[in-house]
């Protein structure tokens, strides 16, 4: 069974940092692009970042460029999102998702909540 | 960026009746070289992550009940629930995966009348 489990969320002050992790299992992690997608409380879905199978290509939502960094450790079957310079508007549930068919997200993890507040 | 617009924002349907959700993209998501529409539909129930229902605009994901169907091409798409069941109460999202950034519609909330 394919499984994605996120961790690392929490409460942080504006300007602070957090590192999210996603542990993957049940599939060959090294053969898939991976992504982070977020959902602000009561709002819709917003793609954040994606990374190629070998980590050689990374793409970001414009509003997080220069602040967030996506990475992966294929030896640990893990995906990461380093978030620096956090803003109140970054408050959301962050989902880890596997990418198939170019840019389709399936499946998704259960998500981890990031709250940016003073 | 491709803007995805869903209609309506919410709808209430009686059990056993049809529910129809529309999704319009600001530019075509039909890739001419393979004649595929890069459009997916997701279902999100409260407290759960989104679940893929439909991809390539009309291909049902394995295990998804056949009361769910997708149609459309180019810029206009529809998700139809042919006979609404209680377990279908959820928010439904369309997503284009034609280009980066991938974008979602704002969601349509389906409730029981």
**CA atoms of B94 and B107, how far apart (whole Å):** 7
- Tell me how close the Cα of A46 comes to any Cα of chain B, in angstroms: 7
Report the alpha-carbon distance of residue B5 to residue B107 in Å, rounded: 9
B41 contact partners, CB below 8 Å, separation of at least 6: B23, B52, B53, B54, B68, B70, B79, B92, B93, B94, B95
Interface residue ranges in chain A relative to chain B, Cβ cutoff 8 Å: 44-47, 50, 59, 61-62, 95, 101-111
Which residues have C-beta within 8 Å of that of residue A115, sequence separation ≥ 6? A9, A10, A11, A12, A91
Identify from A46, A101, A104, A113 which residue to disrupt to test chain B contact, counting B C-beta atoms within 10 A and taking the largest count. Answer: A104
Give chain A positions within 8 Å (CB) of B104: 44-47
Question: Which residues of B lie inside 8 Å of A (Cβ-Cβ)?
Answer: 38, 40, 42, 48-52, 55-56, 61, 93, 95, 97-107
Of B53, B100, B99, nearest to B77 (Cα)? Answer: B53
pLDDT tens, residue by residue, A2-18: 999 999 999 999 999 99
Do the bridges between strand A45-51 and strand A34-39 make them parallel or antiparallel, or are there none, so unpaired?
Answer: antiparallel
The stretch A64-87 carries a mean pLDDT of 98
Whether residue A17 contacts residue A84, with contact meaning beta carbons closer than 8 Å, is answered with: yes
* pLDDT over 90 at A107, yes or no: yes
pLDDT in the model for residue B89: 98
Specify the 3-state DSSP secondary structure of A29: helix
Residue A106 has pLDDT above 90, yes or no: yes
> Are the beta carbons of B69 and B60 closer than 8 angstroms?
yes
With bands split at pLDDT 50, 70 and 90, how would you rate the model's confidence at A77?
A: very high
Neighbouring C-beta atoms of residue B86, cutoff 10 Å? 7
Q: From residue B91, how far is each of A15, A43, A85, B42 by CA, in Å?
A: 33, 11, 31, 8
Confidence bin at A44 (pLDDT 50/70/90) = very high
The verdict on a CB contact (< 8 Å) between A44 and B106 is yes
Kindly report the nearest CA distance between residue B77 and chain A, in angstroms.
16
* Average pLDDT along chain B, 113 residues, taken 10 residues at a time: 97 98 98 96 97 97 97 98 98 96 97 97
In this structure, chain A runs to a length of: 118
Confidence of residue A22 (pLDDT cuts 50, 70, 90): very high
Task: Note the pLDDT of residue B67.
Answer: 98
């Amino acid at each position: 069974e394919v499984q994605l489990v996120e961790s690392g969320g929490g409460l942080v002050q504006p300007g602070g940092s957090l590192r999210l992790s996603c542990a993957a299992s049940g599939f060959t992690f090294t053969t898939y692009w991976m992504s982070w997608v977020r959902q602000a409380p009561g709002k819709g879905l917003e793609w954040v970042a994606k990374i190629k199978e070998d980590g050689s290509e990374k793409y970001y939502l414009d509003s997080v460029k220069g602040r967030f960094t996506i990475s992966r450790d294929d030896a640990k079957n893990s995906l990461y999102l380093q978030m620096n310079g956090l803003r109140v508007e970054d408050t959301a549930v962050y989902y880890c998702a596997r990418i198939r068919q170019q840019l389709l997200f399936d499946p998704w993890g259960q998500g981890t909540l990031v709250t940016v507040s003073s | 960026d491709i803007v995805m617009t869903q209609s309506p924002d919410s709808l209430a349907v009686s059990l056993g009746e049809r529910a129809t959700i529309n999704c319009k993209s600001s530019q075509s998501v039909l890739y001419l070289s393979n004649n595929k529409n890069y459009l997916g539909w997701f279902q999100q129930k409260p407290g759960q992550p989104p679940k893929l229902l439909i991809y390539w605009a009309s291909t049902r994901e394995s295990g998804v009940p056949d009361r769910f169907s997708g149609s459309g091409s180019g810029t206009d798409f529809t998700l139809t629930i042919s006979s609404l069941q209680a377990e279908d109460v959820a928010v439904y999202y369309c997503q284009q995966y034609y280009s980066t950034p991938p974008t979602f519609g704002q969601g349509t909330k389906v409730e029981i009348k």
